[in-house]
Structure 1
C-alpha cells in the first residue's frame, strides 16, 4: 500500500490522511501520527531509527487497543457504502462534503447512490416494505409500493434525494425509502 493512500483514524474521531491534497491537509492529525512524522526531522540515523521504532510500537499498541484504525482508500469506501443512508455529524473520514470540499479536492467522491441486490423483503402493512440488502443494510419504504412487490434477488438502486431523503428504484419504479438498520 502506498503511503499517500493510507488513512489513520485515532479515536475519538480524529483522522490523518497522508498525502498532498488541500483537503487532506485540512484534516486533523492524530498526535500519535504527528509524533511519528517528527522522527523524520532527526538527522542522526541512530536517533531517527530509535524514534521510528518507538513511535511505530506506540501506534501498534494503540491499534491493538482500538484507539487507532488504519484504513486504505478501498476500506474507507467500503465503510462509506456500509453507512450509506445513516445521518452522521460531519466526520472528516466519511466526508460527504459540501460545495467547498468539492472545489478544494478534485478527489472528492461522496457517495450519492448505491446499487444492490435484495436479500429479504417483508411486507409491514399498508403497502410498505422492509427491505434487507445483501450487505445486511435495512431500508423501509416510507410510502406504499403500488407496483410489483420487492422480491429476493431483485436489484435496488438507492440515491440521495432532496432535504436528506432517499429514493429507491425497485423494478425500475421510484419509491421513497429510509435507512432503518
Structure 2
C-alpha cells in the first residue's frame, strides 16, 4: 500500500511543480491509500491521476518552452543562457524608469533603474545579460548607456 502511495506521489510530482502542488490532491491520495478494497483504491488513484494529468496540461505550460522564452522569468540555473540577443520592435527613443520595451520575440522588459538616455534608433539589436543578485542589464547597439530591466512578459 505504501508503494502505491509512493508511486502516485512520484507521478504527481512529474506532472506538477512543487510550488503548485495542491494540498487537497495530496490529502486525497493519502485517503486513497487507506482504502482497504483493492478495486475501490485503484478507482480512487485513477481518478486522482486523471485530475493531475488534466491540471498539468492546462497549468504547466513551461514544460515545453525554449530556454529563450524562459530567460528572465525563472530562477537562474547553471544550464540557462547567460544572455539573450534580439531586436527592439519599432523605434527605440531611449529609456527612463518604468518604460516597457518590446522585443521582436514578443518579450516585454521594464526599465527599473534610474538610468535615462535619449536617442532614435529603428529596430536596434539588444543584448540582455544577467547582472548581480538576479538582475538583468540591457544594452542597445548604437547606444552608450545600459539599464537594469525586469521581464514583465
The 3 A distance-change label for structure 1 pair 5 and 47 is: closer
Seen in structure 2, the aligned counterparts of structure 1 residues 76 and 41 have a Cα distance that, compared at 3 Å, is farther
Counterpart of 1:74 in structure 2 is 64
Distance change in 2, residues 1:150/1:48 (3 Å): farther
**1:114 CA drift (Å):** 1.9
In terms of fraction of residues, the more strand-rich structure is 1
1:151: Cα distance to partner?
Answer: 1.9
In structure 2, the residue matched to 1:105 is none
In the other structure, the counterpart of 2:126 is 156
Match of 1:96 in 2: 76
The DSSP-based 3-state class of the residue aligned with 1:46 is helix
> Structure 1, unaligned stretches of length 5 or more?
16-28, 86-93, 98-107
Structure having the higher Rg = 2
Give distance in 2, aligned partners of 1:158 and 1:137: 12
Q: 1:169 aligns with which of 132, 139, 144?
A: 139
Tell me if 1:123 matches 2:93: yes
2:47 to 47, 54, 76: 54
Change (3 A) 1:37 1:150: farther
2:5 alignment partner in structure 1:
none
- Is the Cα–Cα contact under 8 Å of residues 120 and 151 in structure 1 kept in the other structure? yes
Tell whether the 8 Å contact from 2:89 to 2:103 is kept in structure 1 after alignment. Answer: yes
Alignment: residue pair count: 134
2:4 is matched with: none
Q: Secondary structure at the match of 2:122?
A: coil
Q: Deviations over 1:26-46 (max 9, x none)?
A: xxx433553576568989652
TM-score (norm 2): 0.53
CA contact (8 A) 1:117 1:155 kept: yes
